[in-house]
Amino acid sequence: AGPQDRDDRRTGTSFLSGGTSGAKVTLNGDVIIGGTAAFFSPNTGDKWTINGDLSTTGGGTLVMNNVADTIEVNGNVSFGGGD
């Protein structure tokens, strides 16, 4: 596994970063974005790969601010979160 590969479980507030713009980051497992003010927003030009499911619940949102941002999900995607 490379230095930017992630395989962990997080609750509460978490900040994950590829380190630099245009980084490639892999998350192995399901990603749930849930709770008041919870959000997932890739850094400019990052490519995130999720080897699992992605879902938003409660107030959770997915924020894509840049046309170069990429999230590839190798599983199911469910949007049930915030606006």
Q: Which of 43, 35, 36, 32 is nearest to 78 (CA)?
A: 32
pTM to 2 decimals?
A: 0.76
> In this predicted structure, what is the pLDDT of residue 50?
92
pLDDT at 58 (0 to 100): 86
Report which residue type is found at 37: A
Tens of pLDDT, residue by residue over 14-72, are 666 556 667 788 888 888 888 888 888 887 778 889 999 999 888 888 888 888 888 99
End-to-end CA distance of the chain, in Å?
35
pLDDT recorded at residue 3: 47
Separation CA 23–CA 69 (nearest Å)? 10
Of 36 and 83, more confident? 36
Residue 73 scores a pLDDT above 90? yes
pLDDT value at residue 77:
96
